[in-house]
Amino acid sequence: MHEWIRDLATRRFPKGVRSQGGQDWILAEIFRHVPTVNAPPFCVEFGFDAATLDGGTGANVAALVLDHGWQALLLDRSHENPAINLRREFLHAGNIVAVFAKWAVPTQPDYISIDVDSTDLWLFRALLPHYRAAVYSVEYNCHFPLELSVTRGDDADACWRGDRGYGASLTALAAVAREHGYSLVAVEPMLDAFFIRDDLLDDGSLERAPPLETWRFATDLRIHAPVQRRRHVGSWLDYDVWRASGGTVSAARRAARAACLPYLCEPAQPPWLTRTWRHIMGRKGH
């Protein structure tokens, strides 16, 4: 394993200049060692929660574009601003590859950021065979412990309701990445997991990246309210069961239901602890 990868996995980064958490610093460290292949370097971010690069909670690509001259495609279902190449698109696993082609995304972009608070895993999985970015980041759901490999179902109409019912567990995302030749190299707690393409990590050793256990500290954290209706737990899938069963949704739902219930529905952490986490996150919550 490269020494810089070992260091990246164990460092705790302060809040970035433009990002919601420490993503600015993580990306800066990664691209000190991973060469870009596009001129200028090219990145994609979705969903994008503002009409400007420096608005919203803090875009992962903002520093790359504004401070380092990267080219970007930004996608969101609600916002549009052609001046910064922010395009209004409703994304789901069935259309994401076509949308990327429509907006002329290179097949090897330098970085892709996924954060839609719903079907993140399915969008990630749909892109990986076609768009071999050097680096991906995907928001993960920090409420689940490391042992659970679970995700919301592939529902194009799913949306975040401000509770714990979003995205996928860190372990499920790491499983998707491994299937497609990517390794987990960094986690910004409560926000994003970062993956690098395996060929860029190959140093001739048998170990490209740290074990998943490295990031246990960033899991099993209750920072949002319980899901509003217990029936919403029924939309969750055990990703390992789904994959092993050849995509059988019913079996994956049965396997996930009992496992997900306590993490989605149990009472929130004490207010003082929630406030502590939010202070760590720059008082921006999710």
Residue 203 lies in a domain: yes
Amino acid code (one letter) for 143: H
| Pick from 52, 55, 47: nearest CA to 19 | 55
Residue 103 lies in a domain: yes
CA distance 274 to 276: 5
Residue 200 lies in a domain: yes
Mean pLDDT of 255-282: 70
- For residue 7, pLDDT beyond 60: yes
CA distance 269 to 275: 10
Residue 285 lies in a domain: no
Q: What is the pLDDT of residues 153-186, one digit of tens each?
A: 998 777 777 789 999 999 999 999 999 999 999 9
- Residue 275: pLDDT band with limits 50, 70, 90: very low
Average pLDDT, the chain: 91
- Residue 133: pLDDT band with limits 50, 70, 90: very high
Q: What is the pLDDT of residues 185-237, one digit of tens each?
A: 999 999 999 999 999 999 988 899 999 999 999 999 988 889 887 777 889 99
- For residue 280, pLDDT beyond 60: no
Q: What is the pLDDT of residues 41-68, one digit of tens each?
A: 999 999 888 899 988 889 999 999 999 9
Q: What is the pLDDT of residues 79-89, one digit of tens each?
A: 999 999 999 99
Mean pLDDT of 1-27: 94
Q: Where are the alpha helices (DSSP H) in the chain?
A: 3-10, 23-33, 62-68, 96-102, 120-127, 170-179, 239-244, 249-265, 271-280
Residue 93: exposure state from Cβ atoms within 10 A (0-12, 13-18, ≥19): middle
Residue 286 lies in a domain: no
CA–CA distances in Å: residue 144 to residues 170, 221, 284: 8, 7, 21
Q: What total number of domains does the chain contain?
A: 1
- 124: which residues sit within 8 A by CB, 6+ positions away? 114, 136, 138, 173, 176, 177
Residue carrying the six token digits 């990590």: 201
User: CA 224: distance to chain centroid?
Assistant: 17
- Residue 285: pLDDT band with limits 50, 70, 90: very low
pLDDT over 90, % of the chain: 79
- Residue 125: pLDDT band with limits 50, 70, 90: very high
- 116: which residues sit within 8 A by CB, 6+ positions away? 46, 47, 91, 123, 139
Q: What is the pLDDT of residues 134-147, one digit of tens each?
A: 999 999 999 999 99
- 179: which residues sit within 8 A by CB, 6+ positions away? 128, 243
pTM (2 d.p.): 0.92
Q: What domain range is 151 assigned to?
A: 3-280
Residue 8 lies in a domain: yes
Residue 136 lies in a domain: yes
